[in-house]
Amino acid sequence: MRLSVFSVLDAFPPSSGPERDRYGELLALARVADTSGLSAVWVAEHHFHDGGLDPAPAVLLAAVAAQTQRVRLGSMVSVLPFHDPVEVAEQYALLDRVSGGRLNLGVGSGYIPTELEGFAVDPTTKRERFDRSLETLLAAFRGEAVRPADGRGRPSVLNVRPRQRPHPPIWIAAQRREALVPIARRGFSVALIPYATVSGPEELAEEIREFRTALPDGSTAEVAAAVHLYAGDSAEPARAALQRYLDARLATGSRSYEEKVRHDPTARSAAAIESAGLAVLGSPSVVRAGLERFRAAGVDELLGIFDFGGLPLAEVLGSVRHVAANLSARQSGAGPIRT
């Protein structure tokens, strides 16, 4: 199982003191991930709220590319219904080029009401729009002539194509179990958010088995899972930060997490999420054991959410270094850490 960094770029808790430079913090986190042997740096796309301060992942990942040497660069996700797919294809093709072919492209349909409303996307049509946009995106990457989403203009071929052919690796984010089989049948990798969707690693393992069973023969599709991670002498600051993060996600309107909490009100508690094994906080040995449960569940790449809920940067970077030092079995050369 590969270990990576995943940053939502949240601004929680709300600023009550000097404004923090979350972009500078992300770049510092990326540099440590790069030198510590982690596999990738992933960032989320969000708009119009403090739950995520990155409305343009391709721009931020280009900055990460300029300050790193070997980590892969992941969008988790590019929200396709919010943008013209031809423009998305151009931006990420250029990012793949300037980064030397390091792009991992995660895509999704959006789920936060504030964002859907801001882009005038009807939730009942978002999946249809996503499917059309993904088809156009992949065709553009292959060098085929494509039209903008509104169908106007002449068909055009990208003048800059990705370095990785026929396209960078594709992940689709899924927050509903019923989405797993359709994603698998198309042969794409899947990205999961366990704390918001499942009861524990056992249910996660069931979902992963269901996904793998539906994959086409010979598929190399993978499973990524995002998990809050903290390794340090005392986990209490991280527990408080996780509670702030969870409270804020509910206030933002994270629909899958809201649905989980409706069925199980204890799921709004950081203590319950940690007890269920869906957040891994504690000493390096505790973290190592927690990561092993995700490996055993079938996760190929664990997306460690290290910078959550207002944790100080020094603690975030220390946590990454602790985890890296305790999961030091590496591939030859500068390969990614694996558990």
Q: What is the mean pLDDT of residues 134-138?
A: 98
Query: Within 10 Å of residue 59's Cβ, how many Cβ atoms?
Result: 12
pLDDT of residue 332: 34
Q: How far apart are CA 334 and CA 297, in angstroms?
A: 26
Mean of the per-residue pLDDT values of the chain: 94
Res 253 pLDDT > 90: no
Under the banding of pLDDT at 50, 70 and 90, the label for residue 250 is very high
158-183 tens-digit pLDDT:
999 999 999 999 999 999 999 999 99
Q: How far apart are CA 197 and CA 179, in angstroms?
A: 12
User: DSSP alpha helices (H): ranges in 186-281?
Assistant: 194-197, 201-213, 236-252, 255-263, 270-275
φ, ψ dihedrals at 45, nearest 5°: -105, 125
Which residues face 223 on adjacent strands? 190
Under the banding of pLDDT at 50, 70 and 90, the label for residue 151 is confident
296-324 tens-digit pLDDT:
999 999 999 999 999 999 999 999 999 99
Structure-token pair, residue 179: 């989405």
Which architecture characterizes domain 2-326 according to CATH? Alpha-Beta Barrel (3.20)
- Please give the DSSP secondary-structure letter assigned to residue 264: -
What percent of the chain is modeled with pLDDT above 90?
Answer: 88
Q: How far apart are CA 5 and CA 3, in angstroms?
A: 7
Say what angle helices 22-36 and 57-66 make with each other, to 10 degrees: 50
Using a 10 angstrom Cβ sphere, with 0-12 exposed, 13-18 middle and 19 or more buried, the burial of residue 240 is middle
Could you tell me the residue ranges of all domains in the chain?
Answer: 2-326
Res 101 pLDDT > 80: yes
Q: What is the mean pLDDT of residues 211-231?
A: 98
Could you tell me which residues come within 8 angstroms of residue 333 by beta carbon, excluding any fewer than 6 positions away? none
